[in-house]
Structures are given as structure tokens and as C-alpha cells.
């Protein structure tokens, strides 16, 4: 065997740096205080209420209602109504991306979604990374965020699970979890009360 053959037959191992993770929870001080959370709830409830829809594969705009897969009510919060909220979320996202994800050209690309899961509400396993392939230059979803707006004692069930059954990401009021949008996740059925959350997606250049 010549030197060139030995070179190409050398074992190769590849691993992620230990600072990089695709699921990150906020700790310490919450992203929003209870008073700020209540303001977001009031704003979300002031907007037109809709039944949560399911996106079709490969599209963010082609959606349909399927209550066997998702049962929730949502509204969209315009940027101008809560600009300080958006600025705070962008700051936290950039810090999280810099320290954990390392994705390119991240930015806020969509309106925040206010979501309520009432008794029996749920969202089965899904990913958020659907994109429109009509233009390869558009920002695509890379980081998803779910933030709990009401106190965790106000409802039962409704656990957020990621990457498989049993991987629960418990949240307390005002705290958020950031995760790569290509990760499979679900919201288990709420068994009592109402779970109120804020969902935001952040986009960047398409993965290569």
C-alpha cells in the first residue's frame, strides 16, 4: 500500500464542540416578568382569534386545519404593537445563537404567534422547518422559540417534548426554550386549565 492509500484509509472521527447544542433553555431571570407576560397575553387576545393550522410539507404558506393533529387557538402579534418585546427576543436569540447554535445571518423574520391550548388542546409531533423552495435566497426557519406566558400552576398537561417521548422541557412563567427548527417536537394534551404561550421563529440563510 502506498502513502496515498494509507492517507485515505486513516480513521476519521467528527464531533460537535461541547458548547454547541440544539436545545437551550433560559435560566436565572425570566425573559419577561409576570407583568410583561400579562401584557403580551392581553395583546394576543386583542387580535383576531384563529384555529391553529398545519403547514404542508415544503411550505410555510400552504396550510390546512386538522384537529386530529393540532387543536389550539392562535393569533398574530404585529411588530408595531409590542416593539420592545420583539427587541428583547431578538437580543436573547442572538446571544443564544452566538453561544450555542452558530447559525448564519439570524434575524426575526415572522410575526410572533400567541397560542392557547385549552382543556384537550394539543399539537402532535412536527417540525417547524418547512420552507418555500420558490426562492433559495429567502430566510428559512432555523431557530424556534416557545415561551410560557401564564403561571405553570394554571394548567395541567401540555408538556413540550422534543426529539422523542419523555424528553420534557418544563418551563416556568416568562422563561423560554430555543431549539433548532428541524427538531421533532410536540405539545402533549392539556388536561386542565389553559396553557398560554408565545411562539417565535427566527430565520437565516438556507443550510448548505
- pLDDT tens for each residue of 54-87: 665 544 444 676 777 889 999 999 999 999 999 9
Q: Could you tell me if residue 5 is inside a domain?
A: no
The whole-model pTM stands at 0.85
Give start and end residues of each alpha helix (H) in the chain.
Answer: 3-8, 34-46, 83-96
Cα 10 to Cα 75: distance, rounded to the nearest angstrom: 55
Query: Is position 9 within any domain?
Result: no
Are the C-beta atoms of residues 194 and 150 closer than 8 Å to each other? yes
The answer to whether 203 and 140 have CB atoms below 8 angstroms apart is yes
Q: How confident is the model at residue 10 (pLDDT cuts 50, 70, 90)?
A: low
In a domain, 16, yes or no: no
C-alpha cell at 135: 426562492
* Per-state percent for the chain, helix, strand, coil, to nearest 5: 20, 30, 45
User: pLDDT per residue over 124-173, tens digit each?
Assistant: 999 997 554 444 556 889 999 999 999 999 999 999 999 988 889 899 99
Residue 13 lies in a domain: no
Q: Which three cell numbers stand for residue 21?
A: 447544542
The whole domain housing 86 covers 26-204
Q: At 91, which CATH number?
A: 2.60.120.620
In a domain, 4, yes or no: no
Task: Look at the chain and report how many structural domains it folds into.
Answer: 1
In a domain, 2, yes or no: no
State yes or no: pLDDT of 194 exceeds 50: yes
Amino acid at each position: 500500500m502506498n502513502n496515498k492509500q494509507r492517507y485515505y484509509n486513516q480513521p476519521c472521527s467528527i464531533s460537535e464542540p461541547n458548547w454547541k447544542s440544539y436545545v437551550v433553555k433560559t435560566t436565572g431571570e425570566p425573559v419577561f416578568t409576570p407583568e410583561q407576560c400579562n401584557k403580551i397575553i392581553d395583546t394576543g387576545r386583542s387580535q383576531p382569534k384563529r384555529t391553529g393550522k398545519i403547514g404542508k410539507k415544503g411550505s410555510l404558506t400552504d396550510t390546512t386545519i386538522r384537529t386530529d393533529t393540532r387543536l389550539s387557538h392562535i393569533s398574530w402579534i404585529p411588530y408595531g404593537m409590542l416593539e420592545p418585546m420583539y427587541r428583547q427576543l431578538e437580543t436573547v436569540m442572538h446571544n443564544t445563537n452566538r453561544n450555542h447554535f452558530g447559525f448564519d445571518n439570524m434575524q426575526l423574520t415572522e410575526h410572533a404567534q400567541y397560542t392557547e391550548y385549552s382543556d384537550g388542546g394539543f399539537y402532535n409531533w412536527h417540525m417547524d422547518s418547512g420552507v418555500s423552495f420558490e426562492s433559495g435566497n429567502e430566510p428559512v426557519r432555523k431557530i424556534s422559540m416557545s415561551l410560557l406566558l401564564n403561571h405553570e400552576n394554571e394548567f395541567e398537561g401540555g408538556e413540550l417534548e422534543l426529539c422523542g417521548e419523555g424528553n420534557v422541557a418544563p418551563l416556568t412563567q416568562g422563561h423560554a426554550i430555543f431549539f433548532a427548527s428541524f427538531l421533532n417536537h410536540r405539545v402533549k394534551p392539556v388536561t386542565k386549565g389553559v396553557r398560554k404561550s408565545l411562539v417565535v421563529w427566527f430565520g437565516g440563510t438556507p443550510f448548505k
